[in-house]
Amino acid sequence: MNFHTRKWVKPEDLNPNGTLFGGSLLRWIDEEAAIYAIVQLGNQRVVTKYMSEINFVSASRKGDIIELGITATEFGRTSITLRCEVRNKITRKSILTVDRMVFVNLGEDGLPAAHGRTHIKYVEDQFPDGSVE
Ligand SMILES: CC(C)(COP(=O)(O)OP(=O)(O)OC[C@H]1O[C@@H](n2cnc3c(N)ncnc32)[C@H](O)[C@@H]1OP(=O)(O)O)[C@@H](O)C(=O)NCCC(=O)NCCS
C-alpha cells in the first residue's frame, strides 16, 4: 500500500472533543480514493458506489501529521475495489481502516462502462520514458 498523501491536522478539522472530526477524514479519503481510481482506470468519470464499514481505530489530535494509504484489491468489469488505511506519519499508529471502497467507471452517457483494467498500474508503467520523476 502506498501512502501518497499527507495531511496536517489543523484547528478547523477538529470535533468538539478536540480530536480529528470523522467527516473531515472521510472527505479526504473519498477524494484520495477517487483520484487513485481515476489514475488507475484512466478516466475522470468515476463515482463512489459503495463504502464498507469504517473502523476508527484511534484518535488523531491537532498538529498530528497523518498519511492516507490506498491500494486496489479487485478489478471488476466496470468497477474497482480499493482498501484504505490512515495512520499517524510519525508513530505509524493506525487511525482508520476502510476494507472496501467501490468506484464505478462511467461512460460519456453516465452509465457504467467496462474499463478493461485488470491489475494495478504503477507510475513507471504509466510513464515508461521516465517523464515523471
Ligand atoms: C454508479 C451507478 C451508475 C451504478 O449503477 P448500477 O445500476 O448499480 O450499475 P451496475 O449494476 O451495472 O453495477 C456497476 C458496478 O458496480 C458494482 N456494484 C453495484 N452495486 C454495488 C454495491 N452495492 N456494492 C459493491 N459494488 C456494487 C457492480 O458489481 C458493477 O461492478 P462490475 O461491473 O465490476 O461487476 C449508480 O448506482 C449511481 O449513479 N450511483 C450514484 C453515484 C454517486 O453519486 N456517488 C457519489 C458521488 S461520486
Determine the pLDDT at residue 124.
63
Please state, for a pLDDT cut of 70, what percent of the chain lies above it.
92
Residue 37 has pLDDT above 90, yes or no: yes
Q: Give the C-alpha separation, 42 to 128, whole Å.
A: 16
Question: What is the 34 CA–ligand 1 centroid distance (Å)?
Answer: 14
- What is the domain class of 2-126 according to CATH? alpha beta
**Sequence ranges of the domains in the chain:** 2-126
**Dihedral over Cα of 102, 107, 32, 29: its sign:** negative
State whether the beta carbon of 80 lies less than 6 angstroms from ligand 1.
no
pLDDT digit string (tens) for 41-69? 999 999 999 999 999 999 999 999 999 99
Question: What is the 102 CA–ligand 1 centroid distance (Å)?
Answer: 8
Which three three-digit cell numbers place residue 58?
484511534
What's the pLDDT band for 133 if we cut at 50, 70, 90? Answer: very low
Q: Which of 104, 106, 111 to mutate to test the pocket of ligand 1 (most atoms within 8 A of CB)?
A: 104
β-pair partners for 54? 98
**pTM to 2 decimal places:** 0.91
State whether the beta carbon of 117 lies less than 6 angstroms from ligand 1.
no
Q: For 112, which DSSP code?
A: B
